């Protein structure tokens, strides 16, 4: 279980441009829950993910994972239990390395390398098996450098690599936004498959309202650092795009747009 308790986050503190994003922000995500997050630009979606992952500091509150306060844990320690896929396909892989080398890096996440070889040839069959589940033919291109792959292939690899080792949480930061519609649908199908097979507690930020309603077990909408809509289970199933658009329009009118 993940809990954000009374989170406070300021940007440019102590300056004329000081801005309070989160003021006593709270959120609980149950074990096995697939939470989709929508909201306008600047609503705090990505900042929330960065705070969870330890990428940016925050001024007050606690982050509790499975009953343990990890608020002061550095990002590299949180990475042992959190897998993250970014909007940019290049951020989840090492482009100058081969598919095989990338898979080996992911396979050894959190382990001590020492002076041993980076690639364990005994694991090649396992890597091929894992890559074959993507249905993209990557299992036959192990010696191909990742920089020569398409954006969709790289994002599929990033998704696989983020979930290769046992993790408690999967963080998806608009991971289909940079892809064409057909490829984005493929990545979402793979995402749903992996999340269900591995029973991963997942938080997915997206601007695609169809994905937000079609996938996941719970949906929240954020605005100006607050949760303005929260629906789960049957309420989530009955949530449709039109209702979300109505809520977006209400927010837009309130902001004077």
> Which tens digits make up the pLDDT trace of 105-142?
888 876 655 544 567 788 899 999 999 988 889 999 99
Mean residue pLDDT across the chain? 89
Task: Tell me the residue ranges of DSSP E strands in 53-168.
Answer: 60-65, 68-69, 82-85
Q: Is the pLDDT of residue 55 over 90?
A: yes
Overall average pLDDT of the 100-108 stretch = 90
Q: Is the pLDDT of residue 41 over 70?
A: yes
Q: What are phi and psi of 97, to 5 degrees?
A: -110, 160
For residue 87, the SS3 value is: coil
Q: Say if residues 29 and 203 touch (Cβ distance below 8 Å).
A: yes
Closest Cα to residue 184, out of 220, 150, 149?
Answer: 150
**Sheet holding 226-232: strands in order across?**
82-85, 169-173, 201-205, 34-39, 218-223, 226-232
List Cβ neighbours of 250 (8 Å cut-off, separation of 6 or more). none
**Sheet holding 2-11: strands in order across?**
19-29, 2-11, 60-65, 68-69
Residue 241: pLDDT band with limits 50, 70, 90: confident
Q: Is the pLDDT of residue 256 over 60?
A: no
What's residue 234's pLDDT?
Answer: 85
Q: Say if residues 221 and 247 touch (Cβ distance below 8 Å).
A: yes
Overall average pLDDT of the 197-222 stretch = 94
| Degrees, nearest 5: CA angle 209-215-218 | 90
State the CB neighbour count (10 A cutoff) for residue 251. Answer: 18
Overall average pLDDT of the 17-42 stretch = 93
What's residue 115's pLDDT?
Answer: 43
Element (H, E) at 246: helix 241-254
Q: Which letter, b or e, does each residue of 200-239 get, where b requires 16 or more Cβ atoms within 10 Å of its Cβ? A: bbbbbbbebbebbbebbbbbbbbbbbebebebbeeebeeb
Element (H, E) at 189: helix 181-198
Residue 251: pLDDT band with limits 50, 70, 90: confident
Residue 199: pLDDT band with limits 50, 70, 90: very high
184 versus 109: the higher-pLDDT residue is 184
Residue 24: pLDDT band with limits 50, 70, 90: very high
Q: Say if residues 4 and 48 touch (Cβ distance below 8 Å).
A: yes
37 versus 120: the higher-pLDDT residue is 37
Rounded Cα–Cα distance for residues 45 and 165 (Å): 26
């Amino acid at each position: 279980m993940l809990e954000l308790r009374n989170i406070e986050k300021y940007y440019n503190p102590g300056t004329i441009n000081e801005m309070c994003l989160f003021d006593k922000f709270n959120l609980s995500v149950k074990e096995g829950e697939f939470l989709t997050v929508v909201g306008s630009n600047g609503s705090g979606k990505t900042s929330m993910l960065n705070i969870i992952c330890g990428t940016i500091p925050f001024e007050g509150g606690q982050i509790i994972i499975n009953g343990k306060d990890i608020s002061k844990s550095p990002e590299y320690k949180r990475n042992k239990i959190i897998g993250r896929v970014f909007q940019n396909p290049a951020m989840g892989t090492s482009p100058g390395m081969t598919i095989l080398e990338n898979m080996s890096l992911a396979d050894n996440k959190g382990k001590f390398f020492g002076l041993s070889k980076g690639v364990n040839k005994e694991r090649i069959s396992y890597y091929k098996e894992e890559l074959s589940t993507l249905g993209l033919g990557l299992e036959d291109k192990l010696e191909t450098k990742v920089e020569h792959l398409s954006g969709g292939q790289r994002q599929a690899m990033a998704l696989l690599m983020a979930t290769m080792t046992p993790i408690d949480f999967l963080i998806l930061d608009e991971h289909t936004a940079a892809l064409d519609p057909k490829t984005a649908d493929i990545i979402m199908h793979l995402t749903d498959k992996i999340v269900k097979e591995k029973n991963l507690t997942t938080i997915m930020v997206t601007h695609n309202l169809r994905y937000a309603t079609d996938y996941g077990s719970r949906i929240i909408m954020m605005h100006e650092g607050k949760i303005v809509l929260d629906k789960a289970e049957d309420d989530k199933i009955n949530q449709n795009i039109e209702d979300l658009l109505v809520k977006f329009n209400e927010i837009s009118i309130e902001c004077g747009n």
